[in-house]
A and B are shown apart, each in its own frame.
Chain A
Amino acid sequence: MGDSLLYFIEVTIGGLLAGVMYSLVALGFVLIFKASGIFNFAQGVMALFAALTLVGLMEKLGVPAWVAIVMTIGVMILLAWLIERLVLQHLVNQDPIILFMATIGLAYVLEGVGDLMWGSDVKALNVGLPDGAVDWMFDLGIYVTKLELVAAATAAALVAVLAVFFQRTRIGRALRAVADDHQAALSVGISLRTIWVIVWSVSGIVALVAGIMWGSSSGVQFSLSLIALKALPVLILGGFTSIPGAIIGGLIIGVGEKWAEIYLGDYIGHAIENWFAYVLALAFLLIRPQGLFGEKIIERV
């Protein structure tokens, strides 16, 4: 029985770490939704675009990884500026669903441009992240990959940085204000447009982090953009507006779907991870319609 307990621990840890990977993608969604109420369909493609740019820069210019990363961050900020300039600015005060549609258009553009610029071959991404199983844990009988640990640490660091950014900086406070009330934000003295550029830049950088993690594990290629689908159940579970929600939601989804696949799979069939994640999120929603950490929806007349 000791074996099955050990296996259970292994599955659980595996699920938690997979969940962290989902959270990394979900974070980008949350940032934008929180500050502007936009459901950014392009988040997955942004991760792909960032990773493609990173690999492209490393290959074409032959610069070291860290230089390429800094340059890619620059590209993502430029992208955020362009998006605000060319798209969002013209769609202020539109219905959420219209903005959602606009981000779909954006996803097409990024996909097309990314391919045109860097080609659609699969590219190995190597920024020096470790690979393979963690040795001492493996000897204990628990399989955990180093990359996932790095991802978990990165996610933790990212959340800490974001927390400091939101709590301690003037811009961060303005961002929180804008989430609550657009008028209030204006009174802080920062224009809405600046705020949008900032928030899209930040989520572009988050997309880059997600792109690096996922790209390191599977190579950079079009499929990378599909990781967005993994982040959606995390989003509804954690609430569209909550950063801790994205993390906790990710962990719950990760563990839940792994448990389901491994322990339920034998009874109802395998490859149930995908829909199980959604059903799990749905079940949570039925109890809390605003998600785990979302703001309560108060109805009045």
Chain B
Amino acid sequence: MLYREAGQFKTGYNTDQSIFPIRQDRWAIALFLAVAVVAVPLVIDDYWAKAVLLPLLVYAMATLGLNILVGYCGQISLGTGGFMAVGAFASYKLTTAFPDLNLIIVLLLSGCVTAAVGVLFGLPSLRIKGFYLAVATLAAQFFLVWLFNKVEWFYNYNATGQITMPPREVFGFLITGPEATPAATYLFALGFLIVFGLVAKNIVRGRVGRMWMAIRDMDIAAELIGVRPLMAKLSAFAVSSFYVGVAGGLYFTVWFGAVEVTEAFDINQSFQVLFMVIIGGLGSILGSFLGAAFLVLMPILLKNFMVNWLGVAAVTAKHVEITLLGVLIIFFLIVEPHGFARLWQILKEKLRLWPFPY
């Protein structure tokens, strides 16, 4: 009964086109944001920041980016790990070369660098489709990681190829380095995610988003009504890579602070982010967040539940955790192949009618 849109009239196309046309949704999201921005920083500690929330934010950002490419434009990519590496190394090079450059600008520039690289590796998509493209993007994954491992310039000629983030302040708050407070790093990453989540939503609900979806749903028809596949696909690669690059930058600067390319950005990253996209819901901004949340939180949850509550040995717990994760993925796919976003939608539809379904 609480969730009714009766009596809310749309007075123009403006309100009809807004992201949350239903008033209750707006309240809910405002409340949620208030908790995320105000309440969480008050109670956050190192564990929550480093093991739960930062991973969540960083992966949500990467998932958002990949969802633009896979979910909206229909181009499957397995190069995410490599593109995240580009973002990370770009921010490292920029921040060590220009120590006074604001970290926000560093990250945005890193995103731009990644976008350029993404466009380059997106070129084959003009000819190659489907799983062939997916496997072809692995070329980017392996090549980029090899490159950053091989060319010493990228890691400032240190002995091992490992990069470490120096401490940096933004608006007087220490954001990176070990002394940064969990609240500051969290808010910094959260800021990025809120802004770019909104930006993503704006892009996909406008002309460019429709262009991408047209290419995804029927590329030939799209071309016949004037969408240029070249522009559509490459812009999707660019925007997607920008997000992934910023995510890689955040991964390195605020979350990890030190990474080694062969491990931090290996192929598992690429798969992981793709799982998040699919399980969250292809072509859904909300789904990107839900997918990232599921795959970040579920293992921690299962682990803590088994180890701390049931007292299972750490190793057995790990095996069970992997198995359960697989079972859950299959289970959710069977229940709703279109991911959590669709489940959420169905739930909302039900709620809209509750408690009088007829």
Give residues in A with beta carbon < 8 Å to B: 39, 86-87, 90-91, 94-98, 100-102, 104-113, 115-116, 229, 232-233, 235-236, 240, 269, 271-272, 274-275, 278-279, 281-282, 285-286, 289-291, 297, 299, 301
Contacts and interface: CB of A to CB of B under 8 A. Distances in A.
Contacts, number: 132
Given A91-B334, A278-B142, 5 more contacts: A104-B329, A108-B325, A272-B146, A275-B146, A278-B139
Interface string B295-339: 000000000000000000000100111111111111001100100
B207 interface: no
B70 to A, nearest CB: 8
B204 interface: no
A235 B138 CA distance: 13
* 4 shortest interchain CB distances as A-B pairs: A108-B326, A112-B323, A105-B329, A275-B142
Interface stretch (B129-137, B165-173, B248-256): B129-137
B337 A94 contact: yes
A87 B138 contact: no
A281 B139 CA distance: 9
Nearest to B151: A269
A90 B138 CA distance: 30
18 contacts: A95-B337, A104-B326, A105-B325, A105-B327, A105-B330, A107-B326, A109-B327, A110-B326, A112-B321, A116-B316, A229-B267, A240-B131, A274-B146, A278-B142, A285-B128, A285-B132, A286-B127, A289-B132
Given A112-B321, A112-B322, A271-B146, A236 B333 contact: no
Nearest to A109: B326
B66 interface: no
A100 B267 CA distance: 17
Chain B binding surface SS class: helix
A278 B221 CA distance: 31
Contacts of A106: 326, 330
A91 B324 CA distance: 19
A233 B141 CA distance: 13
Nearest to B322: A112
A70 B136 CA distance: 37
A299 to B, nearest CB: 6
Contacts of A279: 139, 143
Given A102-B329, A299-B220, A275 B143 contact: yes
B15 to A, nearest CB: 34
B150 interface: yes
A97 B142 CA distance: 22
Interface residues of B, number: 42
B139 A104 contact: no
B282 A97 contact: yes
B28 interface: no
Contacts of A271: 146, 150
Nearest to B330: A105
A289 B320 CA distance: 41
Contacts of B136: 236, 278, 281-282, 285
Given A97-B278, A108-B322, A236 B143 contact: no
A101 B132 contact: no
A105 B333 contact: yes
Contacts of B320: 112, 116
Nearest to B275: A104
B275 A39 contact: no
A232 B323 contact: no
Contacts of B2: none
Contacts of B321: 112
A291 B127 CA distance: 12
B124 interface: yes
Contacts of B196: none
Interface string B224-242: 1000000000000000000
B139 A282 contact: yes
Given A112-B319, A275-B146, A97 B76 contact: yes
Interface in B244-294: 267, 271, 275, 278-279, 282
A285 B319 contact: no
Nearest to A113: B323
B135 A232 contact: yes
A220 B278 CA distance: 31
Nearest to B327: A109
B129 A289 contact: yes
A111 B333 contact: no
A104 B272 CA distance: 10
Contacts of A274: 142, 146
Given A289-B128, A289-B132, A105 B143 contact: no
Nearest to A233: B135
A233 B323 CA distance: 28
B4 to A, nearest CB: 33
A90 B124 CA distance: 34
Contacts of B70: 97
A108 B323 contact: yes
A232 B138 contact: yes
A105 B131 contact: no
Contacts of B337: 91, 94-95, 98
A240 B130 CA distance: 11
